[in-house]
Amino acid sequence: MHEINSRSAPSGDFSKVKCIEGFECIQAEYSAYLTDESKLSARPFDYLFFPKSEAELAAVMAELHRRNIPMTFAGARTGLVGGCVPQEGALISLEHLDQVQAVYRDPASAEWRVKAQTSVSLKNLDGMLRVKQFPGLEQNPDPVVAQGLRDFREDPNQYFYPPDPTEMSASLGGSVVTNASGARTYRYGPTRAWVRGIRVFLADGEYLDIPRGKYFASPGGQFVVWNTQGVASTITIPDYPQPRTKSATGFYAAPQMDLIDLFIGSEGTLGVVTSVDVALLKREEKVSIIQFLDSDEQAVQLAEAMRAESRLQLDFLEFYSGNALNLLRELQKVEPSTVGMPAIPDDARGAIFFEMSFDPHAEELEYAALEEVIASCGASLERSWAGYESRELDRFKVFRHMVPETINSILAERKKQYPGIHKLGTDMAVPDGHLQEMWQLYKSRCEELNLEWYAFGHIGNNHIHVNILPRNMDDLNNGMQLYAAFARKAVELGGSVSAEHGIGKIKSKFLQYMFTPGQIQQMRRVKEALDPKGILNPNDIFPAEVHP
Amino acid sequence: MKIVVCVKQVPEVTNVQVDPATGTLIREGVKSILNPFCEYALDHAVRLKQAFDNISISAITMGPPQARDVLLRCLELGADEGILVTDRKFAGADTWATALTLAEAIRTAVPDFDLILVGKQAIDGDTAQVGPEIAEILGLAQITYGVEVNLSSSRKQVRVTQEVERGYEVVEAALPALVTCSKGEVVRRAPSFKDVLQARKKLIRTIWADAIAIPEGQLGLQGSFTQVVKVFPPPAKKTNTILQNLEVEKAAQEIFSFLKEKRFL
């Protein structure tokens, strides 16, 4: 089926929705809403709304649509590309849509699922799943919901939501509209792979319920959306191929694709997701291992060897460059407890961090494949750290975040002297077989220009984050040129310019590296079909000057 | 030279909730860990082993069968063997019955020990009694609140930097002796994965009640002089006063009056 009908939400009273009017007032009392983790600054906008229900949201959207007022949507504001930073019109914060609505077993797939409103945070969801307590569901009068909760609690297994996009304060809906990924994408794929249904409000305040597996593009590559007035909008799916890597660049498109995939990763430019159904997976015991190595190149070599070893099933495969380890060593010199781990071995010049299944109570542990592959790269498991208790897994995870967090704090200090500088963090992924080539380019060019840089991240997906820290404006200019060169190279190798952070407002100029003007035009037509007035998340994905 | 480290398995968090109806701890979802002070004791033992030749470390715990997990952790971190003292007859032991059982188990399993290291207390019971009681039962010199533990070059004495109220004192005792430890490594050690794998190949001995020369009446609940009658959280502190739904001027006036009344102004 490629035709779908939108519905009217229960009518809410626009006049009763909490609204802050006037940029001065918003600036003075709601300054947190002026930016996100990208630190992009908002341009003056007029309204800040806090709808408490879908009905209120629908009322706001219908009214703003009628008045042609652009609307930007904010979830937890943890994005890195300024997607929710308003540039005009109204900002609508979805923070009050924060309830888990059901936990249920889907009979067809035999999987446990959670249905939740958009602003449930990933951290809270994880906490609720761990203890199987869902405030709000306990007193739900719906007998089906109550039975689902009882059944879930009676299931002796523990379950979790696999996508782990590092920033656990992110909202579930935000992670869906950005198709967030992270370390565990290595094994479990991006968020898209776990979304089973969404409710999405369109520009005029009507909504679509889209379960996965129901609405597919016609053989001619089209969807038709009928609104309650009987007016049809036809969406023509772009015909560009997807890169052979993880990607958060532009709209997803594929022949006879599922309609749900068009909205996942669309960064709120086609509609606003208010509720999602996501699948859960049985939780297993894991061991985290940080393997210290002699060089960055040995780390790259080991990552490729581990990936090629079919007997190893890793949850994630991450990288620390030698200079990133030095950064942490410096912290340890000042205060040994800051990093939360023992002293990093003096001879470690690079490291690989990975996680795999582990039974601490097994009589014998069989890890011959791991020992072999590590030995084949000239490394030894004796030079590793391992942990499997939950407190250990937690501190290893904190250690993983230490590098980017330290970089951000260094840069915040530096900005005091050079307000114009900012971090240049690459987010490019390349297809298998090109990791070494890309790594050599990163390292050689950063060293040639004598830049301060550190590298870390998702080496298992050929997706290393290179962070350049400008020390002055010359460094910034050199770094920006380098960034563009890296983006071009990633695309030339068949990769993605933005593998996980998305495009938002900050990276819209890179869209043209990956797509031809004709392909960008196809994307714009999709946007025009669903949002003819161009009022949803203006300036996101599409650069302002070519915005429809 | 043989060092015995006594360890205990404790709940991972110190703020475990108490079920108001039964007065018992709610243990669901709470993981168990090696008591941090016991880990300090083990850390001192491992340091001595790294500094001196021919030292072997035996980690010993009394508890239910799952207490084996903390012995595994000790083996990963450098202990050479584990000793699990477990039997239903040990259940309900207070500090005295625990110390008596552990002392006898040490006498049985490591009769030629030179040094016993223990944590100063467990983070669940917080009694700090078991270590000193073991020393008394075994007739050993004891040094409490140790933060640094060294051996003399002759290995006949242990030299301990001890926390006291006004700072530190360095005291020595002839071996065999017992030291309770209140500090150790700054950051928890992390074993290598090789250590984790090899720990599974090390010996964990099990000692049951019938292997210990103590009459049954002195074990577990029966042998305990104290019993827990009731467990309850301390009464909640008085809550703060929150002024809300007031005009700004009225709220300011209320705060001003409060500060005046309490003589802050």
The total number of structural domains in chain A stands at 3
For residue A202, give the CATH number of its domain: 3.30.465.10
For residue A28, give the CATH number of its domain: 3.30.43.10
Is the Cβ pair B191, A386 closer than 8 Å?
yes
Report the residue of chain B nearest A363, measured CA to CA.
Answer: B200
Q: Show the tokens assigned to B34.
A: 């090696």
Is the Cβ pair A389, B33 closer than 8 Å?
yes
> A327: closest CA among A255, A424, A232, A402?
A402
Report if residue B225 sits inside a domain.
Answer: no
Q: Which residues pair with A279 in a beta bridge?
A: A113
Is the Cβ pair B29, A130 closer than 8 Å?
yes
Tell me if chain B has a CB within 8 Å of the CB of A336: yes
Report if residue A254 sits inside a domain.
Answer: yes
What is the reported pLDDT for A203?
A: 96
Boundary residue ending a domain (A282, A301, A336): A282
What is the reported pLDDT for A546?
A: 39
Is the Cβ pair B187, A340 closer than 8 Å?
yes
Distance CA A361, CA A109 (A): 31
Is it the case that residue A547 has pLDDT exceeding 50?
no
> Which residue bears the tokens 């002195």?
B218
A147 lies in the same domain as A189: yes
Report the residue of chain A nearest B196, measured CA to CA.
Answer: A386
Distance CA A326, CA A344 (A): 9
Could you say which of A131, A289, A364 has the minimum Cβ distance to residue B193? A289
Average pLDDT rounded to a whole number, residues A196-221? 97
Q: Show the tokens assigned to A230.
A: 């009987």
Read out DSSP for A58-72?
Answer: HHHHHHHHHTT--EE
CB atoms < 10 A from the CB of B21, how many? Answer: 6
Q: Tell me the backbone φ, ψ of residue A254, rounded to 5 degrees.
A: -160, 155
Distance CA A325, CA A402 (A): 10
Is the Cβ pair A391, B187 closer than 8 Å?
no
Q: Tell me the backbone φ, ψ of residue A164, rounded to 5 degrees.
A: -135, 75
Distance CA B7, CA B71 (A): 8
Is the Cβ pair B193, A381 closer than 8 Å?
yes
Contact list in B for residue A337 (CB cut-off 8 A) is: 186-187
Average pLDDT rounded to a whole number, residues A5-31? 94
Average pLDDT rounded to a whole number, residues B13-24? 63
* Lowest-confidence region among A11-15, A183-187, A456-460, B236-240: B236-240
Q: Show the tokens assigned to A316.
A: 């994630």
Is the Cβ pair A385, B200 closer than 8 Å?
no
Contact list in B for residue A336 (CB cut-off 8 A) is: 186-187
Could you say which of A130, A385, A391 has the minimum Cβ distance to residue B192? A385
pLDDT confidence tier of residue A423, bands split at 50, 70 and 90: confident
Distance CA A435, CA A437 (A): 6
What is the reported pLDDT for B26?
A: 65
Contact list in B for residue A363 (CB cut-off 8 A) is: 200
Report if residue B174 sits inside a domain.
Answer: yes
Residues whose CB is less than 8 angstroms from the CB of residue B80 and which lie 6 or more positions away in sequence, other chains included: B56, B57, B58, B202
- A45 neighbors A73 (Cβ within 8 angstroms): no
End-to-end CA distance of chain A: 29
Tens-digit pLDDT profile for residues A254-291: 999 999 999 999 999 999 999 999 999 999 999 999 99
A145 lies in the same domain as A213: yes
Boundary residue ending a domain (A282, A308, A343): A282
Is the Cβ pair B196, A386 closer than 8 Å?
yes
Give the minimum alpha-carbon distance from A12 to chain B in angstroms, rounded to a whole number.
25
Q: Are strands B115-119 and A111-117 parallel, antiparallel or unpaired?
A: unpaired
Give the minimum alpha-carbon distance from B263 to chain A in angstroms, rounded to a whole number.
32
Is the Cβ pair A340, B28 closer than 8 Å?
no
Report if residue A506 sits inside a domain.
Answer: no
Report the residue of chain B nearest A354, measured CA to CA.
Answer: B193
> A377: closest CA among A292, A463, A310, A289?
A292
Size of interface A-B (CB pairs under 8 A): 65
Is the Cβ pair A384, B193 closer than 8 Å?
yes
Tens-digit pLDDT profile for residues A482-506: 999 999 999 999 999 999 999 999 8
Is it the case that residue B69 has pLDDT exceeding 90?
yes
Report if residue B149 sits inside a domain.
Answer: yes
A374 lies in the same domain as A474: yes
A237 lies in the same domain as A357: no
Residue B11, preceding peptide bond in cis (omega within 30° of 0)? no
What's the complex ipTM?
0.87
Distance CA A490, CA A484 (A): 10
Return mean pLDDT, chain A.
94
Q: Which of B193, B203, B204, B248 to mutate to test the interface with A (most CBs of A within 10 A)?
A: B193
Q: Which domain holds residue B87?
A: 2-218
Q: At what angle do helices A322-334 and A390-417 cross, to 10 degrees?
A: 90
Amino acid at A350: G
- 3-class SS at B145? strand
- A289 neighbors A327 (Cβ within 8 angstroms): no
Q: Which residues pair with A496 in a beta bridge?
A: A429
pLDDT confidence tier of residue B265, bands split at 50, 70 and 90: confident
Could you say which of A291, A337, A386 has the minimum Cβ distance to residue B190? A386
Give the minimum alpha-carbon distance from A468 to chain B in angstroms, rounded to a whole number.
30
Contact list in A for residue B12 (CB cut-off 8 A) is: 389-391
pLDDT confidence tier of residue A76, bands split at 50, 70 and 90: very high
Count of alpha carbons within 13 Å of A305, Cβ hemisphere only?
Answer: 18
pLDDT confidence tier of residue B24, bands split at 50, 70 and 90: low
Is it the case that residue B79 has pLDDT exceeding 50?
yes
Contact list in A for residue B29 (CB cut-off 8 A) is: 130-131
Q: Are strands B115-119 and B81-85 parallel, antiparallel or unpaired?
A: unpaired
- 3-class SS at B68? helix
Q: Which residues pair with B170 in a beta bridge?
A: B161
Average pLDDT rounded to a whole number, residues B106-115? 97
pLDDT confidence tier of residue A169, bands split at 50, 70 and 90: very high
Is the Cβ pair A386, B187 closer than 8 Å?
no
Tens-digit pLDDT profile for residues A331-389: 999 998 889 999 999 999 999 999 999 999 887 778 999 999 999 999 999 999 999 99
E strand segments, A379-452: 384-387, 424-425
A317 lies in the same domain as A466: yes
Q: Tell me the backbone φ, ψ of residue A233, rounded to 5 degrees.
A: -120, 130
Is the Cβ pair B194, A382 closer than 8 Å?
yes
The total number of structural domains in chain B stands at 1
Report if residue A538 sits inside a domain.
Answer: no
Residue A359, H or E segment:
none
Q: How many angstroms from the chain centroid is the CA of residue A88?
A: 25
Q: Which residues pair with B149 in a beta bridge?
A: B160
Report if residue B116 sits inside a domain.
Answer: yes
Report if residue A504 sits inside a domain.
Answer: no
Is the Cβ pair A390, B12 closer than 8 Å?
yes
Report if residue A511 sits inside a domain.
Answer: no
Report if residue A2 sits inside a domain.
Answer: no
Tens-digit pLDDT profile for residues A226-240: 999 999 999 999 999
Q: Show the tokens assigned to B179.
A: 């030291």
A47 lies in the same domain as A110: no
Report if residue B264 sits inside a domain.
Answer: no
A208 lies in the same domain as A229: yes
Distance CA A386, CA A406 (A): 23
Report if residue B194 sits inside a domain.
Answer: yes
Boundary residue ending a domain (A39, A74, A96): A96
A151 lies in the same domain as A22: no
- B74 neighbors B60 (Cβ within 8 angstroms): no
Is it the case that residue B3 has pLDDT exceeding 50?
yes
Report if residue A524 sits inside a domain.
Answer: no
- 3-class SS at A529? helix
Give the minimum alpha-carbon distance from A15 to chain B in angstroms, rounded to a whole number.
21
Is the Cβ pair A336, B187 closer than 8 Å?
yes
Is the Cβ pair B186, A337 closer than 8 Å?
yes
Residue A84, H or E segment:
none
Q: Show the tokens assigned to A440.
A: 């050599």
- A127 neighbors A82 (Cβ within 8 angstroms): no
What is the reported pLDDT for A548?
A: 34
Contact list in A for residue B193 (CB cut-off 8 A) is: 287, 289, 291, 367, 370, 381, 384, 386
What is the reported pLDDT for B247?
A: 86
Is the Cβ pair B29, A340 closer than 8 Å?
no
Is the Cβ pair B187, A383 closer than 8 Å?
no
Is the Cβ pair A336, B12 closer than 8 Å?
no
> Which residue bears the tokens 């006036």?
B253
* Lowest-confidence region among A17-31, A37-51, B240-254: B240-254
* CA torsion, ordered A375, A377, A379, A381, to nearest 10 deg: -50
Q: Which domain holds residue A308?
A: 286-425+428-492
Give the minimum alpha-carbon distance from B16 to chain A in angstroms, rounded to a whole number.
14
Report if residue B17 sits inside a domain.
Answer: yes
A88 lies in the same domain as A230: no
Give the minimum alpha-carbon distance from A128 to chain B in angstroms, rounded to a whole number.
11
Tell me if chain B has a CB within 8 Å of the CB of A357: no
Report the residue of chain A nearest B197, measured CA to CA.
Answer: A365
A263 lies in the same domain as A300: no
Contact list in A for residue B190 (CB cut-off 8 A) is: 341-342, 385-387, 392
What is the reported pLDDT for B20?
A: 64
Largest separation between any pair of C-alpha atoms in chain B: 78
Distance CA A228, CA A58 (A): 14
Contact list in B for residue A342 (CB cut-off 8 A) is: 185, 187-190
Q: At what angle do helices B95-109 and B130-138 cross, to 10 degrees?
A: 50
Average pLDDT rounded to a whole number, residues A11-33? 94
Q: How many angstroms from the chain centroid is the CA of residue A518?
A: 27
Amino acid at A314: L
Is it the case that residue B121 has pLDDT exceeding 60?
yes
Report if residue A259 sits inside a domain.
Answer: yes
Residues whose CB is less than 8 angstroms from the CB of residue A474 and which lie 6 or more positions away in sequence, other chains included: none
A214 lies in the same domain as A331: no
**What are the percentages of helix, strand and coil residues in chain A, rounded to 5?**
35, 20, 45
Tens-digit pLDDT profile for residues A170-208: 999 999 999 999 899 999 999 999 999 999 999 999 999
Tens-digit pLDDT profile for residues A425-469: 999 999 999 999 999 999 999 999 999 999 999 999 999 999 999
For residue B75, give the CATH number of its domain: 3.40.50.620
Q: Which residues pair with B116 in a beta bridge?
A: B4, B178
A268 lies in the same domain as A345: no
- A78 neighbors A88 (Cβ within 8 angstroms): no
Contact list in B for residue A362 (CB cut-off 8 A) is: 200
Is it the case that residue A102 has pLDDT exceeding 90?
yes
- B98 neighbors B221 (Cβ within 8 angstroms): no
Contact list in B for residue A130 (CB cut-off 8 A) is: 29
Residues whose CB is less than 8 angstroms from the CB of residue A358 and which lie 6 or more positions away in sequence, other chains included: A285, A286, A287, A365, A388
Is it the case that residue A115 has pLDDT exceeding 70?
yes
Give the minimum alpha-carbon distance from B138 to chain A in angstroms, rounded to a whole number.
34
Distance CA A449, CA A446 (A): 5
Q: Give whole-number Cα distances, A41 to A35, A524, B98, in Å.
A: 5, 25, 63
Contact list in B for residue A375 (CB cut-off 8 A) is: none
Residue A81: DSSP 8-state = S
Is it the case that residue B28 has pLDDT exceeding 80?
no
CB atoms < 10 A from the CB of A310, how many? Answer: 7
Residue B176, preceding peptide bond in cis (omega within 30° of 0)? yes
CB atoms < 10 A from the CB of B103, how many? Answer: 24
Residues whose CB is less than 8 angstroms from the CB of residue B198 and which lie 6 or more positions away in sequence, other chains included: none
Report if residue B250 sits inside a domain.
Answer: no
Three-class SS string for A168-231? Answer: CCCEHHHHHHCCCCCCCHHHHCCHHHHEEEEEEECCCCCEEEEECCCCECCCCCEEEEECCCCC
Give the minimum alpha-carbon distance from B69 to chain A in angstroms, rounded to a whole number.
8
What is the reported pLDDT for B22?
A: 62
Tell me if chain B has a CB within 8 Å of the CB of A160: no
Tell me if chain B has a CB within 8 Å of the CB of A362: yes
Count of alpha carbons within 13 Å of A82, Cβ hemisphere only?
Answer: 18
B131 φψ region: left (φ > 0), alpha (ψ -120 to 50), beta (else): alpha
* Lowest-confidence region among A18-27, A273-282, A404-413: A404-413
